[in-house]
Amino acid sequence: MITVEGREWGTAEQLADRLGPDVTPGMVRRWRDRKGLTTRAGHSPLDEAAAIELATRTTTRGRPRRLDLAAA
């Protein structure tokens, strides 16, 4: 992870590691393609990825996420 102007940026692997066991590097890469996650030189901001992950986790579409089950 690197810090640029107060924001943490990381590769897909680093972001997946920070966001928890339910997030894979492939998911982060799909967020870049489908959700517009900012990417520069192969790095994306952690705060943006976390916001996308939260929105994805709390949606009613798709498979249930493990983090939802832990919170219940």
Kindly report, residue by residue over 12-48, the tens digit of the pLDDT: 999 999 998 889 999 999 999 999 999 999 999 999 9
Summarised one tens digit per residue, pLDDT across range 56-65 is: 887 777 666 5
pLDDT of residue 7: 95
Closest listed residue to residue 46, CA positions, set 23, 72, 63, 69: 23
More confident residue, 22 or 7: 7
pLDDT of residue 71: 46
Enumerate the β-bridge partners of residue 10.
Answer: 44
**pTM here?**
0.79
Take residue 19 and report the two structure tokens written for it. 């966001």
